[in-house]
């Protein structure tokens, strides 16, 4: 059993009050818009303000601070002391609510269902049964770092691999993250899959995910030499690093091989195409939610 404590304050005190409540023993603290759900709700965190611009206020002027505590006899005293510590002398009304202990893991898992990429491919959390036994299923749990397939850029790459691979190809997944693209390639019958990333933690995640999916995935840090050429090169990164990496990535495509780049906003497509033009011709192959997949073929 826990106790949820909620009280309202202004933007000038919300952050400091949150810190003071944590110091007073809160398990967690969040700050919300006290006017959420009304006509006076204030957009935050990159939400448009209705006029095409973005809000200037650092926090909501009418903020609701919600803290979770273990139940103790002196709880109200600790809250009052925390408020006084940050200059709130006139203590606002405090809302207390008991929070029953629950199986949070089960509740979290219930929010995530398998993701259908196409008729050939599903992404399936480990606690689910594969919806279509005849399709390829990637076992990957939401919440793990470095890509779980739900982002449009990853989705575009998965669709491309599904449509392109016929079996027996060599594949380079540059910026492999969780390894989801390389694992998909392996399950589609690629003879060799190499995943490269700059982040050691990503390589660890990719290794573990490959083991969970019972596929072979070679892994290499981006600082190490990469001279091989591949039938298939896929990179789901972002526009700026894709442009910087143009000579490397274009140079890894075998004669007649294919390349797909994602992590590119539609408005940035021409920039990437122009950067790669002296090396390999690219075109927009598909678009999803404002992101594009660029495709090309080696000479």
Q: What is the pLDDT of residue 44?
A: 44
Domain endpoint, select from 83, 101, 119: 101
Q: H/E element holding 203?
A: helix 200-212
Count of the separate structural domains present in the chain:
2
28 and 161 co-located in one domain? no
Q: H/E element holding 32?
A: strand 28-33
Q: What is the pLDDT of residue 175?
A: 94
162 and 192 co-located in one domain? yes
pLDDT digits (tens, 9 = 90+) for 20-51: 999 989 888 888 887 766 666 555 443 344 44
CA distance 258 to 185: 13
Give residue 13's domain range: 2-101
44 and 143 co-located in one domain? no
134 and 260 co-located in one domain? yes
Predicted confidence (pLDDT) at residue 14 exceeds the cutoff of 90: no
Domain endpoint, select from 53, 71, 101: 101
96 and 243 co-located in one domain? no
Residue the block writes with tokens 């690093």 = 241
Q: What is the mean pLDDT of the chain?
A: 84
Residue the block writes with tokens 């399950």 = 187
Higher pLDDT, 8 or 40: 8
CA distance 124 to 128: 6
CA distance 36 to 63: 10
pLDDT digits (tens, 9 = 90+) for 220-276: 999 999 999 999 999 999 999 999 999 999 999 999 999 999 999 999 999 999 999
261 and 208 co-located in one domain? yes
Q: Where is average pLDDT lowest: 97-101, 182-186, 193-197, 243-247? A: 97-101
* CATH number for the domain harbouring residue 97: 3.30.70.120
pLDDT digits (tens, 9 = 90+) for 60-98: 778 889 988 888 888 889 999 999 998 987 888 888 888
8 and 66 co-located in one domain? yes
95 and 123 co-located in one domain? no
CA distance 59 to 13: 10
Strands (E) across 151-217 are located at 170-174, 192-197
164 and 260 co-located in one domain? yes
CA distance 231 to 121: 21
59 and 91 co-located in one domain? yes
């Amino acid at each position: 059993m826990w106790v949820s404590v909620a009280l309202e304050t202004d933007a000038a005190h919300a952050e400091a009050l949150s810190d003071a409540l944590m110091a007073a023993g809160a398990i967690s603290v969040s700050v919300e818009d006290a006017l959420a759900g009304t006509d006076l709700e204030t957009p935050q965190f990159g939400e448009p303000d209705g006029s095409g611009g973005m809000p200037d206020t650092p926090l909501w002027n009418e903020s609701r601070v919600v803290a979770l505590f273990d139940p103790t006899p002196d709880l109200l005293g600790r809250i009052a002391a925390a408020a006084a510590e940050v200059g709130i002398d006139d203590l606002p009304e405090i809302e207390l609510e008991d929070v029953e202990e629950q199986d949070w893991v089960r509740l979290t898992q219930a929010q995530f269902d398998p993701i259908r990429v196409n008729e050939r491919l599903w992404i399936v959390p480990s606690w689910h049964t594969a919806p279509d036994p005849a399709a390829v299923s990637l076992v990957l749990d939401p919440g793990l770092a470095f890509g779980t397939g739900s982002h449009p850029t990853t989705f575009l790459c998965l669709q491309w691999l599904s449509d392109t691979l016929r079996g027996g190809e060599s594949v380079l997944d540059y910026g492999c993250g969780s390894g989801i693209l390389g694992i998909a390639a392996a399950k589609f019958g690629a003879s060799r899959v190499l995943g490269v990333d700059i982040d050691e933690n990503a390589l660890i995640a990719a290794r573990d995910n490959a083991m969970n999916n019972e596929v072979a995935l070679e892994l290499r840090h981006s600082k190490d030499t990469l001279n091989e050429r591949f039938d298939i090169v896929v990179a789901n990164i972002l526009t700026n690093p894709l442009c910087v990496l143009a000579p490397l990535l274009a140079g890894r495509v075998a004669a007649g091989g294919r390349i797909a780049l994602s992590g590119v906003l539609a408005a940035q497509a021409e920039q990437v195409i122009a950067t790669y033009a002296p090396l390999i011709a690219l075109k927009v192959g598909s678009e999803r939610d404002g992101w594009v997949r660029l495709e090309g073929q080696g000479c």
